[in-house]
Amino acid sequence: TYAWFFLPSFSQSPPTFGFLLDIDGVLVRGHRVIPAALEAFRRLMNSQGQLRVPVVFVTNAGNSLQHSKAQELSALLGCEVDADQVILSHSPMKLFSEYHEKRMLVSGQGPVVENAQGLGFRNVVTMDELRMAFPLLDMVDLERRLKTTPLPRNDFPPIEGVLLLGEPVRWETSLQLIMDVLLSNGSPGTGLATPPYPHLPILASNMDLLWMAEAKMPRFGHGTFLLCLETIYQKVTGKELRYEGLTGKPSILTYQYAQDLIRRQAERRGWVAPIRKLYAVGDNPTSDIYGANLFHQYLQKATRGGAPELGAGGPRQQQPSASQSCISILVCTGVYNPRNPQSTEPVLGGEQPPFHGHRDLCFSPGLMEASHVVNDVNEAVQLVFREEGWASE
């Protein structure tokens, strides 16, 4: 049961806007809620404890279950968060149905099998299962090396694709085994004279190079793991690692998926007015702001009669959209530090700062510039309510 104190209620017309809220660095730091988030949700809820506008939580985390993340947010924020309000980095992989029946090697940590099955993948193999089937592959850790040579396996069905759900714990093991699968066309117990190319399909989620927890400096994200894999593959084969799908911010596909959840949420609440405007609040210029601005650009082009092809991170199908704009709002409680804005301003000498985005994203400095910069998510909510002519309850 959640107790709140409310200001007097005012009658309000149905919302025509919704929020896409990042979690880490916006609402929480590690396992601690950011105080401004509590104030923000006090404004977002009415006197009955219901949200006054549609809200979807869009995180690039992926090492937990969707309903577990919803329960965690409910406890931290003091409001009821449903599982279908939460988008994890891999949630849009539900749309990749052509791979759901394939035998997929899954990488990540936490409940990877449950997550993969929840996305629709019915035939998954974990890194540990592969390592146990072929124990001679994992050689970096001397303590885990076998003292005897096992008999070769010929009863292990071939792997048909690779599913990268988030950063694993033993990077050296995952990198080695994924490479073995790609170079052997799914049969790592055998060796091929010439590695196949194109290689087996790869679906990956969460391209964040860095993310902000409770430490003073950012931590490595799954984007760093992907960078390692891409670099190793390029060095070994001389060819570029390719993805059939990239999900998580800043992919267009993730924002399309979020937009659909916003629409469904509005329908369930009986809000008949279409949601024309989305406000995306985040702390990372490379993922949150870049993604929101890229989606805004996509929406603008779509309304003018056609959206461009956007590669592995692009939409799965083109469909009419009620939303006409996606406004980016950058907060200063996470990765972005206004006293050291390395990721958004040129360094001395006029050079561009290093681009922390994924290899497959074209570097466009303008897309990393937020429509608004505020201190925290509470200020973001106040800003949006002023823009929309809404009163705070």
Q: Is 247 helix (H, G, I), strand (E, B) or coil?
A: strand
pTM: 0.87
Q: Give the long-range contacts of residues 194-201, CB within 8 A, separation 24 or more.
A: 195/237, 197/237, 197/239, 198/242, 199/241, 199/242, 200/159, 200/160, 200/161, 200/162, 201/99, 201/102, 201/160, 201/161, 201/162, 201/244
Which residue numbers in the chain have pLDDT < 50?
A: 1-10, 318, 343-348
Cα 86 off chain centre by = 11
Q: Give the pLDDT confidence score for residue 13 in this predicted structure.
A: 84
Q: List, in order of start, the domains of the chain with CATH numbers.
A: 37-88+252-282+292-341+352-388 (3.40.50), 97-243 (3.40.50.1000)
Q: Give the pLDDT confidence score for residue 354 in this predicted structure.
A: 83
Q: How many CB atoms lie within 10 A of CB 11?
A: 5
Count the helices and strands in the chain (H runs, E runs): 9, 15
Cα 18 off chain centre by = 19
Residue with tokens 């009986």: 270
Q: Give the tokens for residue 2.
A: 């959640």
**Summary mean pLDDT of the chain:** 89
- Rounded Cα gap, residues 321 and 301, in angstroms: 12
Q: What 3 state SS string does 39-85 have?
A: HHHHHHECCCCCECCCEEEECCCCCCCHHHHHHHHHHHHCCCCCHHH
pLDDT (tens digit per residue) in 165-217: 999 999 999 999 999 999 999 999 887 779 999 999 999 999 999 887 788 88
Dihedrals φ, ψ of 287, to 5°? -110, -55
Q: Which of 217, 218, 181 is closest to 201 using CA atoms?
A: 181
Contact in structure between 300 and 325 (CB atoms under 8 Å): yes
